[in-house]
Amino acid sequence: MELKETLLKNKKYITMFLITGILFARCNLGLYYGGVYVLINLLFNGLAALFCALLFTTDKVPMKKALISPAIVWILLFSTMVFIYGHFKLFTAADYYSRMITIMTALPAILILTLLFYNKDDVFDILSVSGSVIIITTLITSLCYDYVWGEWLMGMYSRVGSTPAGGVIDTGNLVLILLIPIFYQLIILRKVKQYLWITIIGIFEIIATGAKSSAFPIVFVFAIMIIGASDDIKIIRRNLIILIVLGVAAFAAIMVVPPLYGVLGYRIAELFTGMASSGEPDLHTSTGQRMAMMAGFKAHFWESPIWGHGFYSFREMPYSAIEEYHEGTEIAYRHVQLHMNFLEVLFSYGIVGFVLYYWFPVYVAIKAFKSNKTAKIMVFSIMISFFFMDLGIDMYYKYLLPYYSYFLAYFFMIKGQRNGFKAVKG
């Protein structure tokens, strides 16, 4: 009994530890290398499940609010569709599906959502502390794992940030989502001393990854925060002007300073050059490859628009041999998936699957208009970030991040409703 009381008394700090552990295991270590990496994921998920069970014995309402919800309906419906398509190889012979990945993607998101409902009054402290720790562990893990950091010491600057859980884009996207509650603490609650240092480190990590999908949304997230920080139009206008000036200065630095250009600037230049080109896509560039992918999508999507072509079927098609690589002295082309979540979901699962995946974030965004200011700030910051992320990479299958983020948005939307956390009997 004393142990139970001690655990409940320290609910906030145990939740910080568990969420940090789940995110570290899934988003830093990942599942790809199996063995001990999978065991660490199972350990933190198991501890979180046990703690949720303990909390349920004292108060059933928060768990009911978390589990009997549109969020759970969404993740179960879409995960079931992915399972049916992937496991039974509907419409394609692609053999990439893993039930373990599906379970270890859905389960952590559900556990985190449940823990948040039990800590609704401490959520910003929990997310900010956990986020700060994961930003640091991501940097340390990357320094140990990504050999490209060594090239920086020799004055050769290129994209860095890979971890066992994913590549540089994945790291940039993760850090941006982790920074959103920290931005709120910094800009809205004005906790500068506590969170300025981790904000600087996080932005450095995003720039170092060279990920456009996480670098571009920062400006929009800051704008949302600035608009939400005050009701005084003059102050908002002044802060937006300051943001625009800083944004222009940062853009100029990225395009002019050699290390910044070598990491991110050249990719921005390549993006605009590729989009302005009217000729054949240049398969030597990332933008050219993506334009070729979109051309293949447009040419073949309508062959099966309702139910799609099957789990990750695009990379099975002959027209997906797009990514150039070398086999000795010979140039070859590797088959690739569509590097855009919108198109990958559409091509794989058709219009039905697209609706099953995207109805939930749309539902949360619409409902957020009836929530309070804090909810609007958090929900729209997450949604604008994921709009850019879904333009840059397909995340629906292997990544915890979209489910964690959309559940986070759902939590804030519910919390921001006038009677969102009103106790109910049962």
Q: What are phi and psi of 98, to 5 degrees?
A: -135, 125
Q: 422 pLDDT exceeds 50?
A: no
pLDDT band at 342 (very low <50, low <70, confident <90, very high): very high
How much is the pLDDT for 48?
A: 98
Best CA proximity match to 17, nearest among 43, 39, 54: 43
Tokens linked to 374: 């804090």
Tokens linked to 26: 């899934």
Cα 113 to Cα 254, 292, 303, 371: the distances in Å are 37, 39, 39, 19
Q: 425 pLDDT exceeds 50?
A: no
Grouping H, G, I as helix, E, B as strand and the rest as coil, residue 93 is coil
pLDDT band at 232 (very low <50, low <70, confident <90, very high): confident
Nearest-angstrom CA–CA distance, 362 and 386: 12
Q: 426 pLDDT exceeds 50?
A: no
How much is the pLDDT for 419?
A: 58
**pTM, entire model:** 0.93
How much is the pLDDT for 358?
A: 98
Q: Which of 5-14, 18-27, 140-149, 256-265 has the lowest mean pLDDT?
A: 256-265
The predicted model gives 61-77 an average pLDDT of: 96
- For residue 10, the number of C-alpha atoms closer than 13 Å in the C-beta half-sphere is 10
Which amino acid, one-letter code, is at 141?
Answer: T
Polymer length of the chain: 426
H-state helical runs in 88-122: 99-117
Higher pLDDT, 182 or 318: 182
The predicted model gives 299-319 an average pLDDT of: 92
How much is the pLDDT for 420?
A: 55
Give the DSSP letter of residue 157.
Answer: -
How much is the pLDDT for 374?
A: 93
Best CA proximity match to 385, nearest among 142, 266, 212: 212
pLDDT band at 423 (very low <50, low <70, confident <90, very high): very low
Which residues have a Cβ under 8 Å from the Cβ of 5 and sit 6 or more positions away? none
Tokens linked to 102: 């599906």
